[in-house]
Structure 1
Amino acid sequence: MLKFSNIWGYEVFKMWLINKLNIYMLFFLCSCGGAQQSTIPIPDFFEKSEKTNFKLSPDGSKIAYLGLEDHCRNIFVLDIVNPDSSKQLTYQDNMNVQYFFWTTNDSIVYSNSQSFEDSLRLYTIDVRYELSKLLIPVDDHRIRWLNTTRSFDGTILALMNKRDSSVFDLYRIRLDGAGSTLIDQNPGNFSSWFASNDGKVRLVMSSDSVEETFWHRTEEGMPFNSVIKTDFESTVFPLGPVKGNANSMYALSNLGRDKLALVEMEIQHGKETKVIFEDKDADVNREGYFFSNQEPLFSAVYKNHKKVTVHNPKLARIYHRIQKKFDDYSIDILDVDSMFNTLIFKTYTDRNPGSIYYYHADKDKIVELTTQNPKLTERSFGKMEEVAFNSRDGRTIKGYLTYPLKAQKSYPIVVLVHDGPNRRDVWGFNAEAQFLANRGYAVFQVNYRGSTGFGKEFFTAGFKQWGGEIQNDISDGVTWLIHQGIADKDRIAIMGSGFGGYSALYAACFNPTLYKCAISSSGYTNLFTYFKEIPPYYQQYLKLYHQIIGHPTREYELFKAISPLFHAEKVNIPILFFQGGKDRHSSVTDANQFVQKVKNRDVPVRYIYKEEEGKRFRKEENIIQYYQEVEAFLATYLN
């Protein structure tokens, strides 16, 4: 349900919107001269691919994927050996298949639901005979998988919070439909469980949110012994077992170093035995380990672009062969069979969303499986380049700048702040940034301190800096753009979702001279209630949130000083505010109060409330309307 809360009526607004967009489009097209940039329709940017989640069967003879049928996502299977046997495998007409994985060459486990809040439904299906079995009774508990690419003696390992919604116990789920068996009851503080290559769980991690402890046992049923302890600054992230060695594992670790490195560890005593790959400038990503092969096939780091280093010699030869065929593209390995004969990979650039391909090594044959967004394939887009600047305290901050096609002396700027803050922006095709660039704005994305991927010192530098140095990093970046002559200082907007939305609202309160307007989607207005909305299964991380953000009781004055709700009277720039009724992280009541306080000061504010949406808008019509509103709002206040 759409609610309008603004100073004009709906019909007046609709006429205003249409007139504004018509005038803007005419002005834009007429002013582009020889480097004319066509205005791409909004739906074209955010159209969802009809084919997703391509996964190879263990022997590489089949490819399963999710495709649209009757407006619902269903499983389809491509038979590489016998193409005539390719078929649609599920026929859901009122719900979507949410995820799936192969357990053998002829069976798939999948889950479906009508929404992300819906009850769990878990099935196995025989690919040959299209016969489905319900694996566990329909319930409202949640499930987390262990080693989803393998089954052990007709069972798969899973964590479920059936007994207590705040903790996950370890189960074996039988693939013949005979139910599940409790293996280990969570004492309350176990947050992660890790299986060995024989399907036995010998390693677990406990957490009090700030400190993490790894516990090892020689066999199931035996007591656990503490082997590794880390604090909130240090990380050990197990990837999987070492082939043929149940006492060793591959992991990402920054113990004794600033950046995450790929290492091999002896788990009985928690000792690092070998550094396999590291980079002095960036953390190693979590991708690259394949449980089916029980080895890290490649490592990846993000610098200005993503850099992939392939460790397996056979896969390295295949990867380099593919690189020669797609010389100007970045290539991501999505899946590979156990014999390295078949491969699924994705290509992309900053100006092209790319495609997903299947590669047969023996035949040196490449087949396109899907184009990521066919409506954008033949379109032209501006470049995305990495930039770096110094913050006011001398720290080097990096980010990205996406340009419109038409070069200008200086650009209207949209500062697009990433969520998290423990995430980061990366180089590649960004539909949201390119949509804004297509409308004539340069898009500035800042990896402020506290962003991930730059080492633990940079990450922890963002602790308790909401409303502090994080916001200063963003402001310093904008000031740098102005001094470089890139930004038109009178036409700068700030925009984001979640923490990005919070940053936009904070800027409207405390930096109104720097920005012309602000756009917030599910932005946090009150950090006191932010902590009250945490789901029970996240409670074990509460101390970590206190370390990263602050404590609402012990640091009451800090929370009040940095929560936009208590400073709405300072706002004097226009705000566009989106809020979902089912958002667990941002209080609707607080959002309503903030908007009302701003409206009481006769500051232009447009508030759009979607009762059926959460933190992220998921319905296609709501996503399209979101960007229509953004387009009209920016056209009004930046042009």
Structure 2
Amino acid sequence: MKFWIGLFFSTLILLGCQQHKADLIPINQFFSTPEKSSFKISPNGRFIAYIGLDNHCKNIYLLDLLHQDSSKQLTYQNDINVKSFAWNNDSKISFLTEQSSQDSLRLYAVDINTERIWPLIKPVRGKFRWVHSVLTEGNSFVAGINDRDSSFFDLYRIYLDDRPRELILQNPGNMSSWIVSNDGQVRLAVANDSVQQSVLYRTSDKDPFKEIIRCDVESSFTPLGFKDSSRTIIYALSNVDRDKLALVSYDLANNKELGEIFSHKEVDVSPGGYFSEQNKLLFVNYTTSRQNRFFFDKSIKKKYDQLSKQIDGFEFQVLNTDITGERVIIKTYTDINPGGIYFYDFSTQKLTKLADNNSDLKDKELSPNEYITYTARDGVQISGYLTYPVHSNRKDLPMIVLPHDGPNGREIWGFDHEAQFLANRGYLVFQMNYRGSTGYGKKFWTAGFKEWGGKIQDDITDGVKWLIKEGIADRDRIAIVGKGFGGYSALHAACFNSDLYKCAVSYSGYTNLFTYFRDIPPYFKSYVQKMYQIVGNPIREAELFKNISPVFHSDKVRIPVLLVQGGKDRFSSVTDANQFVQKLKNNHIPVQYILKEDEDRTFKKDENVFGYYNELERFLAKYLVD
């Protein structure tokens, strides 16, 4: 009751301030969890399985595309959620239940015809990774489990009959991912050894792996999968000996690149358009101001153009396909509409809606993303997006600076629930791709190495000052809000740029980079040396870490801070967060602290998510609204 009363009064506050003319949308409509998710089509294209809610628990449901009346619920978990699932063949699905507080791994299978459910492995303490879910030899599939050593995953053959799991590849300690050919053999592996990445290949399960490519920390070679029925030719994304990630074909047997298939001069080519169900490459994606596709076959392009016409005005992402590629599940969206999930049959050109991504928002008046570029102080071009409040005059607006998490990753055009929520509350939202963001090539990414607290933060600051100079942002009403690295950026700004912002909000932000490295989970340990290159070495460069960790500079904070933390967050220490908050209190700086002991880095429970955004709304209104 207190939560809804608070929400009611905070809404009244904003209405009284007359920040904008758009109707205020309740918080829960922006951030509610979809009732249906994880739609996946069966190999033969007849069935679609998805995760839905039954008495507040996630279970698997089945749609029969030929006989709609035969659609049904497959699982009946009533005290624990189905976490994920995969089709093994046209009639069998394996699924994983959410790990409990005891970290117990439980894997089951269900027959969609008989509805029989049976366990596939004995419960173990560990984590699970899908590797190749399609059944191959001996009625089995390949998966990773880390119960032998939590630092890495071994590969097992999981049988759908009563046979126990079979170890097929014991991880030497450096393998991070694998690609299985369509006959079920593990022929490719990616290993991380210190700061270098290696791609390993073997001709069959009986042969040892041999290294075919070794990349330093700046380069990348990512196998997508095998080409058609070949066991030696693969598609890969590579920036070896080039700046931008390009699509290439590679001959594993002769250890040589066969040539560049597609590249873009401004941005990296991104994964997408390769479907392991068919070992087919239909198209590639690349993102400039918007997402684009390049098709390799005119007939395929024509088919997808016909699909585009049926969802006129919407962008789409292909989630999965059947074995023929004739039936697909897609996710649609725009920057002002969260869109939906659809089934499309290319042979009949029939488009069927399966679910709305967020039915509460699809007809609301929301704000477009506008692509921008600006020049940082050293001449580097930075891109980003502005989301204006609806019906705003676009001058002297209160602004929320929203740096993305990562810093690996990037902002792209599309629907952003958080940006839309803030714009609906009357704020201009500024999101930028500072140096160190991915997608713009090797040079731009590596320009962010060891620039936490340095040029990355300068890129954010320079964008804010540019918007002030242009008269778009009101210099006296600017806040910085972020999660993870974005939260770190908010805390850093509070310490070193208090004169630029009125307040700062950190959600799971890093307060102490020494403990950030100390508390990295075991299964990320193979990346630690690489992170030393990107961030710095906390032992050899202790002075740098002390200079850029907010916990050591709390005495410089002069603005109010809202700090939000999950008690189970393994990347951001609760102890450091508590210490930072206490120092601000000792210095009489207004600080609000939200700690949810049962949450991880990202809050999952609706009441905690809604509670955070309710407090965020009130906090921003208190310090930014005239």
CA drift at 1:269? 3.4
Partner of 1:429: 415
Instruction: Give, in angstroms, the shift of residue 17 of structure 1.
Output: 8.0
Question: What per-residue deviation string (whole Å, max 9, x for no partner) do you get for residues 115-153 of structure 1?
Answer: 587421111111101111211111111122223345443
Q: Secondary structure at the match of 2:270?
A: coil
Can you give the 5+ residue segments of structure 1 that lack an aligned partner in the other structure? 1-10
Task: Describe the shift of the 1:16–1:168 C-alpha distance in structure 2 as closer, same or farther (beyond 3 A).
Answer: closer
Structure-1 separation of matches of 2:414 and 2:40: 23
Partner of residue 254, structure 1: 239
Amino acid at match of 1:502: Y
Paired amino acid for 1:571: V
Q: Alignment partner for residue 171 of structure 1, among 130, 138, 156?
A: 156
TM-aligned CA deviation for residue 27 of structure 1: 2.5
Q: Is the 8 A contact 1:103 1:151 kept in 2?
A: no
Distance change in 2, residues 1:634/1:104 (3 Å): same
Give the corresponding residue for 2:623.
637
Q: Contact 1:351/1:429 (CA < 8 Å) preserved in 2? A: yes
Candidates 17, 34, 40, aligned match of 1:55: 40
Query: Contact between 1:104 and 1:151, CA under 8 Å: does it hold in 2?
Result: no
Between the aligned partners of 2:180 and 2:10, the Cα distance in structure 1 is 59
CA shift in 2, pair 1:333/1:116, >3 Å:
farther
How far the C-alpha of 1:219 sits from its partner, in A, is 2.2
CA deviation map 1:578-633 (0-9, x unaligned): 11111111111111111111111111111111111111111100000000000000
What are the equivalent positions in structure 2 for 1:38-187 lying under 5 Å apart? 38-113=23-98, 115=100, 118-187=103-172
SS of structure 2 residue aligned to 1:541? helix
Give the aligned partner of residue 344 of structure 1. Answer: 329
Please state if 1:387 is matched with 2:382. no
> Are the aligned partners of 1:241 and 1:250 in contact in 2 as well (CA < 8 Å)?
yes
Distance 1:96 1:270 in 2: 45
Taking a change above 3 Å as real, the CA distance of residues 461 and 143 of structure 1, as seen in their structure-2 partners, is same
Cα distance in 2, alignment partners of residues 24 and 338 from structure 1: 52
- Alpha-carbon spacing, 1:116–1:41, altered in 2? closer, same or farther (3 Å): farther
The 2-side partners of 1:18 and 1:352 are apart by: 25
Corresponding position: 1:526 with 2:516: no
TM-score, with normalisation over the residues of structure 2? 0.97
1:206 and 1:521 map into 2 onto residues whose CA distance is 32
- The runs of 4+ residues in structure 1 deviating greater than 4 Å are 13-21, 114-117
Percent identity, aligned pairs only, is: 50
Name the amino acid aligned to 1:61.
Answer: R
In the alignment, is residue 310 of structure 1 matched against residue 300 of structure 2?
Answer: no
Tell me whether 1:438 sits opposite 2:438 in the alignment: no
Could you tell me how far 1:81 is from its partner in structure 2?
1.3
1:556 aligns with 2:542: yes
CA shift for structure 1 position 101: 1.0
Once residues 536 and 317 of structure 1 are traced to their aligned partners in structure 2, the CA distance between those partners, rounded to angstroms, is 47
Give the C-alpha shift of residue 338 in structure 1: 2.2
**Cα drift, residue 203 of structure 1:** 2.3
Residue 566 of structure 1 and its aligned partner are, at CA, apart by 0.6
Q: In the aligned structure 1, how far is the partner of 2:4 from the partner of 2:316?
A: 44
In structure 1, the residue corresponding to 2:336 is in which secondary structure? coil
Once the two structures are overlaid, the 10-residue window that deviates more, 559-568 or 161-170, is: 161-170
Moved more, 41-50 or 197-206: 197-206
Aligned to 2:15: 25
What is the CA-CA distance between 1:253 and the residue it aligns to?
Answer: 0.8
Determine the structure 1 residue equivalent to 2:472: 486
CA–CA distance in structure 1, aligned partners of residues 468 and 101 of structure 2:
43
The residue aligned with 1:503 is: 489
Q: 1:104 to 1:18 in 2, by over 3 A?
A: closer
Q: What SS is found at the alignment partner of 2:402? A: strand
Structure-2 separation of matches of 1:105 and 1:116? 34
- Give the partner amino acid of 2:183: D
Cα deviation 1:131-185 (Å, max 9, x = unaligned)? 1121111111112222334544311111222222212222111121312111122
Residue aligning to 1:615: 601
Greater Cα shift, 94-103 or 192-201: 192-201
Q: AA paired with 1:421?
A: P
Residue of structure 1 equivalent to 2:253: 268
Please give the alpha-carbon distance, in whole angstroms, between the structure 1 residues aligned to 2:64 and 2:225: 29
| 5+ long unaligned stretches in structure 2 | none
Question: Separation in 2 of the partners of 1:88 and 1:514?
Answer: 54
Contact conserved, 1:227 with 1:269, CA < 8 A, in 2?
no
Q: What's the RMSD between the two structures over aligned residues? A: 1.8
> What code does the residue aligned with 1:508 have?
A
Amino acid in structure 1 at the alignment position of 2:273: G
Name the aligned partner's letter for residue 481 of structure 1.
Answer: L
1:625 aligns with 2:611: yes
Indicate whether 1:194 and 2:184 are aligned: no
Change (3 A) 1:479 1:468: same
Shift of 1:541: 1.0
Counterpart of 1:571 in structure 2 is 557
Q: 1:230 and 2:215 equivalent?
A: yes
Mapped to 1, the partners of 2:290 and 2:6 lie a distance apart of 42
Question: In structure 2, what is the equivalent of residue 299 of structure 1?
Answer: 284
Residue 363 of structure 1 and its aligned partner are, at CA, apart by 2.2
Give the Cα–Cα distance (whole angstroms) in 2 for the partners of residues 476 and 416 of structure 1.
14
Structure 1 counterpart of 2:434: 448
3-state DSSP of counterpart to 2:118 = strand
Secondary structure of the residue that 1:566 maps to in structure 2?
Answer: helix
State yes or no: 1:356 paired with 2:346: no
- Check conservation: 1:198, 1:246, Cα contact below 8 A: no
Change in 2 beyond 3 A, CA 1:103/1:549:
same
Q: How many angstroms does 1:198 deviate by?
A: 1.7
**Amino acid of the structure 2 residue aligned with 1:328:** G
Match of 1:212 among 185, 194, 197: 197
SS of the residue 1:159 aligns to = strand
- SS of equivalent to 1:417: coil
2:7–2:614 contact (8 Å) kept in structure 1 = no
1:537 and 2:523 are equivalent in the alignment: yes
Q: Is the contact made by 1:147 and 1:291 (CA closer than 8 Å) also made in structure 2? A: no
**Greater shift in the superposed pair: 77-86 or 330-339:** 330-339
Could you tell me how far apart the structure 1 residues matched to 2:5 and 2:110 are?
52
Q: Which moved more, 1:294-303 or 1:107-116?
A: 107-116
Question: Who is 1:414 aligned against?
Answer: 400
- The 10-residue stretch of structure 1 (332-341 or 487-496) with the greater mean CA deviation from structure 2: 332-341
For 2:54, give the aligned amino acid: E
Out of 438-447 and 212-221, give the one that drifted further.
212-221
Q: Partner amino acid for 2:437?
A: S
18 and 124 in structure 1: CA distance in 2 versus 1, 3 angstrom threshold: closer
Question: 1:335 and 2:320 equivalent?
Answer: yes
CA drift of 1:576 comes to: 0.6
Aligned equivalents of 1:116, 1:386: Cα separation in 2 = 44
Contact 1:119–1:139 under 8 Å retained in 2: yes
SS in 2 for 1:540: helix
Measured in 1, the distance between the counterparts of 2:6 and 2:417 equals: 27
